[in-house]
């Protein structure tokens, strides 16, 4: 039996996705920091879901739908799972953009946006950008 993996952005997202897989009748196993020799989930905050090769295409499509559904609804904390978050626009000062400008001029890469959305969890205090 061959297995394939799908990488989720957090353990909370992985458990929600595993639940959706279970409801669809697809067997899966989670692999994260609790069963990694190098604490992989702690270092890069990802969790892998393993599924059988014959279920992989269906599971992969389900994950894309699951991720887009959750990204577009209500932001939630990737650390504690709370939906009690605050969003604010973060503008980068021009001085912080200097390395980006130099790299762009040297490699002819077009400029990206200098603003991003920063989220703060009101329950655990975790901060992240999207």
Q: Write out the E strands in the chain.
A: 3-8, 28-31, 47-52, 85-91, 115-121, 127-129
Pair (47, 89) in one structural domain:
no
Q: What is the DSSP letter of 72?
A: H
Pair (89, 44) in one structural domain:
no
Q: What is the DSSP letter of 34?
A: G
Which range is most confident: 20-34, 66-80, 89-103, 110-124? 20-34
Residue 110 placed within a domain: yes
pTM for the model: 0.52
- The number of folded domains in the chain is 2
Pair (93, 67) in one structural domain:
no
pLDDT tens column, 19-69: 899 999 999 988 765 555 445 445 556 788 899 999 999 999 999 888 877
Position 41 scores a pLDDT of 44
Give the percent of the chain with pLDDT over 90: 14
Residue 115 placed within a domain: yes
Pair (39, 95) in one structural domain:
no
Domain that holds residue 112: 85-129
């Amino acid at each position: 039996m061959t297995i394939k993996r799908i990488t989720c952005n957090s353990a909370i997202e992985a458990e929600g996705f595993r639940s959706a897989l279970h409801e669809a009748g697809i067997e899966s196993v989670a692999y994260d920091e609790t069963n990694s020799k190098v604490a992989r989930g702690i270092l890069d905050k990802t969790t892998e879901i393993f599924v059988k090769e014959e279920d992989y295409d269906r599971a992969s499509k389900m994950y894309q739908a699951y991720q887009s559904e959750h990204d577009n609804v209500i932001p939630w904390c990737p650390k504690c799972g709370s939906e009690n978050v605050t969003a604010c626009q973060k503008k980068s000062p021009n001085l912080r953009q200097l390395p980006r400008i130099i790299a762009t001029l040297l490699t002819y890469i077009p400029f990206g946006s200098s603003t991003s959305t920063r989220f703060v969890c009101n329950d655990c205090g975790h901060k992240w950008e999207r």
